[in-house]
Structure 1
């Protein structure tokens, strides 16, 4: 629905958690192997101070062997191991170099052999611990990245679910407010023929289908409205002939709403003014709407109001609509001609299409009485005309508010019917369909086309 739209921002594409991406030491070798949230100078400080503190403790506890080179356990390597475990192998090597520098400083000028095995074993141990640290830092970073991405996806799905729920609530509200389909509404309007006696029925239909809360229908005399409405519903409406929305609707002969007056920096006491036009474009009356839900004031609902008003006013001119077609084709049923003209006029004003499906019957199909059988399968709102040609017959089915999909569905139903009845297809039964969109050809030309198909050899 166009619009419960609330734009949803797509999830971020970066998979890096904020704690990692925001504070890594970009560019430094240490940061490439140990991308933590700690600043570089803190890492360097720990890598130097921990082994230095170990040397100080060793000097205090064991002055003869501060590094515990000759002890049963080399306690001095705990400091580089801790640094390597926290920050990776490079930081551990830096701490090991501090121990090496400490040994050289403490034994400067002494004739003591360099403890090669002590430092080689310690370096290997630090490198192994650092490699283990790097591996688990990478795994942890990957897990945090996946968790961050899943969290973003969850937020996105929650927003989508919330919007879907709002859309569902709105749709449910509209379905409660619209207890009938458009075909039911047109069926109700088809039987109306007097503006004075049927005005209340029209308003009630608009209230049910278009969610209008308060409205009044006035007859128009020239460019002025009668003081008393033909019918009204909801709260009483005060008539103002000089209201900018009323004047705009009377001048343009088009439906006008409050957004248009606000765009012109004008104030109107009405939400909508919709004229009822006859075939010549003159105004029968004017519908003034004072109250309707906010979400109902949208393009689709306004088009529906225009459609219902146009269908209603065309029904007031039944004979005038059908007369041009009946003069050329006297054998055409008056209801078929009138409905075709009304639907053509509706398409011209609102853009809603209609369709004519012509079923061509061969002599074999006529002998089996298939035209009469298919007449009984027509839909409730459809109008039909059975044309008898020289050698074949043609059944024209006029489908209001239909398009090619509607025609295909109708033909599929006929195909299924003939298959269940005789286990053959429409073509095998001698029935050949033609689809003639009413939106592309005027009624007079379309009737001419129907006769050409019926009279074809």
Structure 2
């Protein structure tokens, strides 16, 4: 297609190339002389057909006008009229006076033909210029279109690792696994977990192996694709279990180039916030464009949250309300995600003087709650306090949330939030520091 377009452009440039000036002069003189010579040969007594029915030599300036325009029509007419003047003076033409009418007529219609040709040449040049402009814009549009298409494709490939996709993935994770039957890593929960990993990592051949009291199980409890049983001495699998971290051929291949003998592409351990290993996701095949650090990071984060949910189902109720235990559980996971993956999370504490103010602000907060936000009442009644955990939220997001909450409170009470509650904020970092921060307002241990 590109070769065809190049040939068309080359042909168009060749056809639009004007004849050189010397060729125009030579052709004008030769054609005009040829018509005069033919008239002298065919009709020696009247070579200019002054007494004939049609002045045939006048075709010379007419043709030159149509071919090269007004100026060369004028040149050809002057040559023809010059030859007529010489013939009249020498007595070679059968007239008693110079034929001014004939001369003027030849001059007029040849110049009209030349002007006609020049007019349409100017119109064609305008159209060609307009066409060239449109061609340039079309090429720019085509380049921009393909650049946008490539950028869109790359954006789709990277979308799985973006923060908005991570938020949606975690929200879907809590919605689906929370309704699974049974406690612990069962075939039903393992199947749900594997489907979520497939959705966000495009896994093609993978399986989930549980960890028992005797070590890694021999058979998977959930699989996708043509997954065959693993070797117990697979280096990637052993490294992932030993280091309790995601391991792929991207890092293992460079470090153990000579010793690497594995059937796996990647191994993802299911480790909860307290470093308890409950299973391993073994991956043998996934699309190449998804096998990048951003997607692997997303899968590791999802695996950690999955392990936390499984362990949460096994735990016996502890002190405090269910809401407070859930808050502490999610806070530990947020601290781990911040430390291992650099994911931001924010904490906001509000303390009140009385229950009426507490109830009013709590209602506004729950109306503004997003899918991953965790709101709880602090266990201590002195002072009365509320805490909210904002996962995947940096300082700007925290400030934006407080502004929305302040606007909602003002709309309902016509008072700013700062008049109803004492506001404290911090970013999530180490578990011990967050625990001390909460304990200063009546919090209990998170571990």
Same fold per TM (> 0.5)? yes
Partner Cα distance (1:233, 1:451) in 2? 44
SS of alignment partner, residue 343 of structure 2: coil
Q: Secondary structure at the match of 1:229?
A: coil
- 172, 185, 189: which one aligns with 1:184: 172
Partner of 1:22, secondary structure, is helix
Q: Is 1:23–2:14 an aligned residue pair? A: yes
Larger Rg computed on CA atoms: 2
Give deviations 1:11-38, integer Å, cap 9, x for gaps. x9xxxx93687338xxxxxxxxxxx245
Residues 1:133 and 1:215: Cα distance change in structure 2 (over 3 Å): closer
- Residue 335 of structure 1 corresponds to 326
Distance in 1 of aligned mates of 2:9 and 2:98? 47
Asked if the contact 2:273/2:333 (under 8 Å) is kept, the reply is no
Matched, 1:54 2:35: yes
Task: Measure how far apart 1:135 and its partner are.
Answer: 1.9
Quickly say closer, same or farther: Cα 1:366–1:149, change in 2 above 3 A: same
CA apart distance, 1:80: 3.7
Q: What are the superposed Cα offsets for residues 178-227 of structure 1, whole Å, 9 maximum, x if unpaired?
A: 9x7431214555799734675454334434544434322335799x9736
Are residues 1:229 and 2:215 paired? no
Change in CA separation of 1:389 and 1:236 when aligned onto 2, cut-off 3 Å: closer
Is residue 396 from structure 1 mapped to residue 387 from structure 2 by the alignment? yes
By how many angstroms is 1:115 displaced? Answer: 8.4
Give the drift of 1:430: 3.1
Structure 2 residue runs without a partner (length 5+): 161-165, 443-447
1:205 to 1:169, Cα distance in 2 relative to 1, 3 A: closer
Does the C-alpha gap of structure 1 residues 103 and 153 become closer, same or farther in structure 2, counting only changes over 3 Å? farther
Q: Deviations over 1:201-260 (max 9, x none)?
A: 4334434544434322335799x9736035231334221245454466467654344566
Task: Flag the 1:141–1:77 CA change in 2: closer, same or farther, 3 A.
Answer: farther
Match of 1:442 in 2: 430
Q: Is the 8 A contact 1:343 1:354 kept in 2?
A: yes
- What SS does the aligned partner of 2:14 have? coil
Aligned residues: 408
RMSD: 5.5
Note the 1:102-181 alignment, pairs <5 A.
Answer: 107=87, 110=90, 118=104, 125=112, 128-129=115-116, 131-149=118-136, 151-152=138-139, 155=142, 181=169
Question: Quick check: 349-358 or 196-205, which moved more?
Answer: 196-205
Whether the 8 Å CA contact 1:311–1:346 is kept in 2: the answer is: no
Contact 1:58–1:66, Cα closer than 8 Å, also in 2: yes
Please say if residues 354 and 384 of structure 2, whose CA atoms lie closer than 8 Å, have aligned partners that are also in contact: no
Give the counterpart of 2:303 among 305, 309, 321. 309
**Secondary structure of the corresponding residue to residue 23 of structure 1:** helix
Provide the C-alpha distance between the structure 1 equivalents of 2:425 and 2:45, rounded to a whole number of angstroms.
108
- Cα gap change, 1:60/1:365 in structure 2, threshold over 3 Å: closer, same or farther? farther
- Name the residue aligned to 1:373: 363
Measure the CA separation in 2 of the matches of 1:245 and 1:368.
52
Flag the structure with higher helix content.
2
Tell me the equivalent position of 1:3: none
What SS class does the counterpart of residue 282 from structure 2 fall into?
Answer: strand
